Amino acid sequence: MELIKINKIMSNKTQFLHNINKTKRQHSSAVKSKLKSQNFEIHFEGFYHSQHSDNIDTEIENFELDFEKINWKETYIDYSKEYVKALNEMLNIDLKFVSLNSPSYYNFETDKIEVSINRDDILKLKKEYNYKKEFVDYVNEQTKSYDGFMSFYKDFEAVKNDSEMNLVYIFKYILCEYANDIQEDSFELDFEIIEN
C-alpha cells in the first residue's frame, strides 16, 4: 500500500515537473520568435500635402483619371508598399509592409507606414547607426523638450534602450540623410492608382 502511495506521489511530482518544463520551453520559444522580428513605424511625410501626394496627383493627371473615382485608401496602401520596396533596395534590408496607419485628422500628425523587420536587419542597422556620432547627435537634438513639446525620451541613451523607438529614430535619420535620393526614387515608384 505504501509503495503505491509513493509511486503515485512520484508520478504526480514527475507530471508537475514535466508541465513546468513544458511551460518554460513554450515561453522560451515565444520569446525567441518575438526576437526574430519587430514592428515599428516609418515616419515618411505621409500623404497630406507632401511629395508623395504630389506624385500620386501627377500620376492621376498623366493617365487622365477622374479624381472623384480614385480609391484613395487602396492607392495610398499600394504606394506605401512600393515605398517599402524602394527602401529595401536602397538599404539592402528586408522590411515587410504591415499596414498604413492614417490619423483621423491631419492637424497633429500624418500617415506612418508600419513595417516588420527581422532580427538580422535590426542588428545590422543598430550596429551601423548607434555608434555613429552624427546619429547620436541627431537623436539628442530631436529628443529635446521645448515650448509646446514635451519629449518622453530625454536623450540618445533613452532611445537606444527602447528597441522600437531606436528603429523609429534610425529611419527618421535615414530619411533625412538620404532625402534627395529618396525623393528622386519616389518619382520612379511603380505604384498603382486604384479606382473605385
Q: Note whether residue 64 is domain-resident.
A: yes
pLDDT one-digit tens code per residue, 130-177: 999 999 999 999 998 877 777 777 889 999 999 999 999 999 999 999
In a domain, 25, yes or no: no
pLDDT at 19: 60
123-126 contacts, C-beta under 8 A, 24 or more apart:
124/93, 125/91, 125/93, 125/167, 125/170, 126/166, 126/170
Q: Is residue 30 part of a domain?
A: no
In-domain check, residue 97: yes
SS3 100: strand
The pTM for the full model equals: 0.78
3-class SS string, 120-154: HHHHHHHHHHCCCHHHHHHHHHHCCCECCECCCCC
Return mean pLDDT, the chain.
Answer: 87
Into how many domains does the chain fold? 1
Tell me the per-residue pLDDT of 13-60, one tens digit each, with 9 for 90 and over.
666 665 666 666 655 544 554 558 999 999 999 999 999 999 999 999
Does residue 74 lie within any of the structural domains? yes
Within-domain flag for 42: yes
Domain span at 91:
37-187
Residue with the three cell numbers 500624418: 110
Q: Please report whether residue 15 resides in a domain.
A: no
pLDDT digits (tens, 9 = 90+) for 96-135: 999 999 999 888 899 999 999 999 999 999 999 999 999 9
37 beta partners? 118
Short-list 124, 120, 128, CA closest to 35: 120
Q: What is the pLDDT of residue 5?
A: 56
